């Protein structure tokens, strides 16, 4: 069995209105089949549920209620690199506070990758 160079790209964005442009970049880079989840940052949870962190409420209230976490798997590292480059430009390298982040992880095995719809 030949090993493939499969990667998982994770993108966390704090502004849900940026979701559509992010998905458009993925399509431009020929990355299909992304999964999108509504997520919540740690500061928001701590400020809401744990009394000692109530001081974080002001910070948490400035953030959006929920983040969007998008992940996609690809056998083509060059497409992942291209998407990361375009998304970095779109989000100014995620340097501004409360914009999000992205990262890539190697995938050692994957089943069902690249299936075609009937």
Helix (H) or strand (E) holding 48: helix 42-49
Query: What residues make up the domain containing 94?
Result: 6-40+66-107
Number of structural domains (the chain) is 1
Position 89 in a domain: yes
HSE, CB side, 13 Å, CA atoms: give it for residue 20. 1
* Alpha-carbon span 93 to 88, nearest angstrom: 4
User: Is 60 a domain residue?
Assistant: no
Specify the CATH number for the domain of residue 10. Answer: 3.30.70.120
Whether residue 99 is contained in a domain is answered as yes
**Residues 36-85: pLDDT tens digits?**
999 987 766 676 666 665 555 554 444 556 799 999 999 999 999 999 99
117 domain-assigned: no
pTM of the model: 0.81
Is residue 36 included in any domain, yes or no? yes
């Amino acid at each position: 069995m030949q090993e493939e160079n499969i990667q998982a790209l994770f993108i966390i964005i704090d502004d849900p209105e940026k979701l559509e442009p992010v998905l458009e970049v993925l399509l431009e880079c020929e990355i299909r089949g992304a999964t999108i989840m509504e997520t919540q940052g740690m500061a928001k949870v701590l400020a809401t549920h744990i009394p000692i962190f109530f001081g974080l409420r002001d910070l948490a209230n400035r953030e959006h209620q929920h983040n969007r976490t998008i992940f996609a798997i690809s056998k083509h590292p060059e497409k992942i690199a291209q998407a990361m480059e375009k998304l970095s430009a779109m989000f100014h390298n995620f340097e501004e506070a409360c914009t999000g982040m992205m990262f890539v992880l190697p995938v050692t095995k994957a089943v069902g990758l690249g299936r075609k719809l009937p």
